[in-house]
Amino acid sequence: MRSRFGAIWGLAGVGLLLASAVYRITPLAFDAFLSPWSWYHWLTFVVVLLFMAYFEGYRAFQKAFSPRVAARARYLCSHSDRSPALLAPLFCMAYFHAPRRRRITSLSVTAGIIILVVLVRLLEQPWRGIIDGGVVVGLAWGLISLSLFGYRAFTDREFSFSPDVPEEL
């Protein structure tokens, strides 16, 4: 029971984190449309949306983060003694019980995101909204891919993605 709770909480916690970000950023993205736009704003908007969809949504979330989070949640079902259930979302994001390189990568990406959030907040509209619009697209893609990989992790007999845990665990 505890292992299933940890796995579900791990996926749900990460999903709630992404959903919360989408919920908070979406109004800021729409605020950009209250400012006057020139052709270069529209061009930048399209480029940012495509860039974020591909690099954040597809490459970062769909190809790397979401399958790993789902695999680590699946891992929790059979290894509940490895991680406290309340910390399952942090385990699924590889903040602990992960190889050193993965932990460093997870912490570095988190720090980078925090720095970018602070810097984007300094921008005036419509530039802030243009970037926030791209972030919403990437995060929404990530939330959808996390949901699909999470479903597959618990319904497929074989889930070919590695949970990326150290061998000694």
Whether residue 21 is predicted with pLDDT greater than 80 in this model: the reply is yes
Burial status of residue 52 (CB atoms within 10 A of its CB: 0-12, 13-18, 19 or more)? buried
Domain count of the chain?
Answer: 1
In a domain, 169, yes or no: no
Interval 123-164: pLDDT, tens = 999 999 999 999 999 999 999 999 999 999 999 888 888 888
In a domain, 135, yes or no: yes
Average pLDDT over residues 37-41: 96
In a domain, 79, yes or no: yes
The candidate with the shortest Cα–Cα distance to 133, out of 48, 76, 60, is: 48
pLDDT value, residue 7: 86
In a domain, 166, yes or no: no
In a domain, 18, yes or no: yes
Whether residue 5 is predicted with pLDDT greater than 90 in this model: the reply is no
Instruction: Evaluate the omega torsion of the peptide bond into residue 163 and state whether it is cis, within 30 degrees of 0.
Output: no
In a domain, 167, yes or no: no
Interval 59-116: pLDDT, tens = 999 999 999 999 999 988 877 665 677 889 999 999 988 889 999 999 999 999 999 9
Whether residue 4 is predicted with pLDDT greater than 90 in this model: the reply is no
Whether residue 169 is predicted with pLDDT greater than 50 in this model: the reply is no
| Residues above pLDDT 70, as percent of the chain | 94
Quote the domain boundaries for residue 47: 2-155
d(CA 85, CA 10): 8
In a domain, 160, yes or no: no
More confident residue, 53 or 166: 53
